[in-house]
Chain A
Amino acid sequence: MSTIISEGLMQAKAHPGRIIIWAVLLIGGLIMITPILFMFGTSFKDASQVYDMRLFPEYPTLDNYIQVLSDGRFLRWFGNSLGIATTVTLSNVFFDSLVGYTLAKFDFRGRYLIFLAILSTLMIPTEMLVIPWYLMASKLGWIDTYWGVMFPGMMTAFGTFLMKQFFETVPNDFLEAARIDGLNEFQIWWKIALPLVTPALSALAIFTFLGNWTAFFWPLIVTTSQEFYTLPVGLTSFAIEQSIQWEKIMTGAALATIPTLIVFLVLQRFIVRGIMLAGLKG
Chain B
Amino acid sequence: MTEIQLEKITKKYGAIETIHGIDLTVTDGEFVVLVGPSGCGKSTTLRMIAGLEPITGGDLRIGGEIVNEHEPKERNIAMVFQNYAIYPHMSVRQNIGFGLYTAKMSKADKNKRIEETAEMLGLVELLDRKPSALSGGQRQRVAIGRAMVRNPVAFLFDEPLSNLDAQLRSQMRIEIKRLHQRLKSTIVYVTHDQVEAMTMADRIVVMRDGHILQSGSPTDLYENPSDIFTARFIGNPSMNMITAIATQNGLVAENGNAVLSVASPDVAINSKVSVGVRSHALSVGVPNGAAGLTLTGEILVLEPLGSETLVHIDTADGVVIASAPALHQLTAGQTVSAFASVENLYFFDSDSQKALMRP
Q: Which residues of B contact A177 (CB under 8 A)?
A: 79, 81, 85, 87, 146
Bound: A174/B146 CA distance, A:
13
Q: How many whole Å from A163's CB to the nearest CB in chain B?
A: 17
Bound: A58/B81 CA distance, A:
69
- Chain A 116-160 interface 0/1 with B at a Cβ cutoff of 8 Å (1 = within): 000000000000000000000000000000000000000000000
Contact in complex: B73, A181 (CB < 8 Å): yes
Bound: A159/B73 CA distance, A:
33
Residue of B50, B98, B136 with highest tally of chain A CB at under 10 A: B98
Contact in complex: B52, A275 (CB < 8 Å): no
**A196 CB–B CB distance under 8 Å:** yes
Bound: A99/B153 CA distance, A:
36
Contact in complex: B85, A174 (CB < 8 Å): yes
Q: Which residues of B contact A173 (CB under 8 A)?
A: 81-83, 85
Contact in complex: A181, B81 (CB < 8 Å): no
Q: Which residues of A contact B135 (CB under 8 A)?
A: 282
Bound: A279/B90 CA distance, A:
9
Bound: A279/B82 CA distance, A:
12
Q: How many whole Å from B300's CB to the nearest CB in chain A?
A: 36
Asked, given contacts A180-B50, A181-B99, whether A282 binds B85 with beta carbons under 8 Å apart, the answer is no
Q: How many whole Å from A275's CB to the nearest CB in chain B?
A: 6
Bound: A196/B99 CA distance, A:
19
**B93 CB–A CB distance under 8 Å:** no
Residue of B89, B101, B130 with highest tally of chain A CB at under 10 A: B89
Contact in complex: A174, B87 (CB < 8 Å): yes
Q: Which residues of B contact A176 (CB under 8 A)?
A: 50, 52, 72, 79, 81, 85
Bound: A275/B130 CA distance, A:
11
Bound: A282/B87 CA distance, A:
14
Chain A interface main SS type: helix
**A281 CB–B CB distance under 8 Å:** yes
- Chain A 262-282 interface 0/1 with B at a Cβ cutoff of 8 Å (1 = within): 000000000000011111111
Q: Which residues of A contact B85 (CB under 8 A)?
A: 171, 173-174, 176-177, 279-280
A143-195 residues with Cβ-Cβ distance < 8 A to B are: 171, 173-174, 176-183, 192, 195
**B78 CB–A CB distance under 8 Å:** yes
Contact in complex: A180, B73 (CB < 8 Å): yes
Residue of B51, B84, B88, B102 with highest tally of chain A CB at under 10 A: B88
Pick the residue among B50, B51, B84 that contacts A281 (CB under 8 A): B84
Bound: A277/B88 CA distance, A:
7
Count how many pairs of residues, one from A and one from B, have CB atoms less than 8 Å apart in the complex: 83
Q: How many whole Å from A40's CB to the nearest CB in chain B?
A: 39
B81-134 residues with Cβ-Cβ distance < 8 A to A are: 81-89, 98-99, 101-102, 130-132
Q: Which residues of A contact B101 (CB under 8 A)?
A: 181-183
Contact in complex: B89, A195 (CB < 8 Å): yes
Asked, given contacts A180-B73, A180-B79, A282-B136, whether A196 binds B52 with beta carbons under 8 Å apart, the answer is no
Contact in complex: B102, A181 (CB < 8 Å): yes
- Chain A 196-215 interface 0/1 with B at a Cβ cutoff of 8 Å (1 = within): 10100000000000000000
Contact in complex: A281, B73 (CB < 8 Å): no
Bound: A201/B120 CA distance, A:
38
Contact in complex: A275, B89 (CB < 8 Å): yes
Q: Which residues of B contact A196 (CB under 8 A)?
A: 87-89
Contact in complex: B88, A279 (CB < 8 Å): yes
Q: Which residues of B contact A171 (CB under 8 A)?
A: 83, 85
Q: How many whole Å from A96's CB to the nearest CB in chain B?
A: 20
**B272 CB–A CB distance under 8 Å:** no
Bound: A280/B98 CA distance, A:
17
Closest to A280 in B: B83
Contact in complex: A180, B72 (CB < 8 Å): yes
Contact in complex: B131, A278 (CB < 8 Å): yes
Bound: A195/B72 CA distance, A:
23
Q: How many whole Å from A179's CB to the nearest CB in chain B?
A: 5
Closest to B156 in A: A180
**B42 CB–A CB distance under 8 Å:** no
Q: Which residues of B contact A278 (CB under 8 A)?
A: 88, 130-132
Q: Which residues of B contact A195 (CB under 8 A)?
A: 87, 89
Q: Which residues of A contact B255 (CB under 8 A)?
A: none
Contact in complex: A281, B89 (CB < 8 Å): no
Closest to B89 in A: A195
The 9 closest A-B pairs by CB, nearest first: A279-B88, A278-B132, A182-B73, A182-B102, A173-B85, A278-B88, A281-B163, A177-B85, A195-B89
**CB-defined A-B contacts under 8 Å, sample of 17:** A171-B85, A173-B81, A173-B83, A176-B79, A180-B52, A180-B72, A181-B101, A181-B146, A183-B101, A183-B102, A196-B89, A275-B88, A276-B88, A277-B88, A279-B132, A281-B82, A281-B163
Extra A-B contacts (9), CB below 8 Å, given A177-B81, A279-B85: A171-B83, A180-B72, A180-B73, A181-B101, A182-B72, A275-B88, A275-B132, A279-B86, A282-B136
